Structure 1
């Protein structure tokens, strides 16, 4: 399994953000992670990315337990947080070079060229990040995620705030990446789920309500759209 979560619990003061959450994700799958605001999606992703410690339970990436071997686990994944923090005064190639050096990538310039081509940043590569549209900033964020060629990607609402054309471009890129990687993607766009995802997980109040392939989900909930299924599971 690419990703495994066992009895994950996260408590903030008196609030339980995650409540005994468990799931597994296979290889080369794009999994839509759905839930209302405050359901626990971002908390789960932060724990898997090794930037937030759980109250109890554990997660694994490529068989490496995150709590015990955080550094090794982080080498196996790329994480794009919801706010996509970038150094706005840096140039596109400059920030990719910085990330490549952090990961101690061999043939660094060759890999930077590959990632720029893959993410469609050719015409923007010599610009400062602050000069880019939000869509291209998301492309830079994805480029930083994949520069070390990790087998697992964790993407927290990567198309949030983009215009329709930018959404289609980022979706296409994620679908391409999903051919060779496991992708866990959170989104509020049900069309996005049907367009690119192989599986769906629905979380509500820190509890997993459903986890199934798109095909099995439609078989289990006949004559219902993904949106209708989501409402039924989270109301």
Structure 2
């Protein structure tokens, strides 16, 4: 165990001081919401659905807001081998077990060279940004700068759909939460991140406008409480 921990630490480069993580209540709820294997399977399913699994495997791929790196593990399983992960939490990054290079960094101020990466991926990180639309604009502009011409962004974030509204309504009924542990875990996570989460869900027009002004849209799939977006840098 100590050897693995040292290996993970040696892969981490600090671009920013980082922030101590985490919201222990949120983390405990997330562990109840899905197992690591379920999370991995979820990421694999998404990447297949969005066509990422068919892309060339020598592309330079970065996952932003990568947390403990399950998304990186999914990309490894698909055969991608030039991988990097970025997150503001050293604590989360140290939980990653894999071969990707890791960076403690603020995604609004990346240190990658201009035009140096082929794909940038975000799975559930943008809705944690504190100030909208300003923080989102800064992050997307940084992503655009880092991508080579023709490079792609892949974004998956919560979205206010009828399905999500229904889930929110049901999750407010205590009896249902007692009967279904997963629903209770979802409700707790929502409560813990309510400020940024609701701010994100309340600005769909502004968010899509930013995305489509900065990138050329290739895919935009909205359903079951998610936005799945693929854009290209011209």
Q: State whether TM-score is above 0.5.
A: no
TM-score range, shorter chain: 0.3 to 0.5
> Where is the helix percentage greater, Structure 1 or Structure 2?
2
TM-score with structure 1 setting the length: 0.34
> Which structure ranks higher in relative contact order (CA pairs < 8 Å, sequence separation ≥ 6)?
1
TM-score with structure 2 setting the length: 0.34
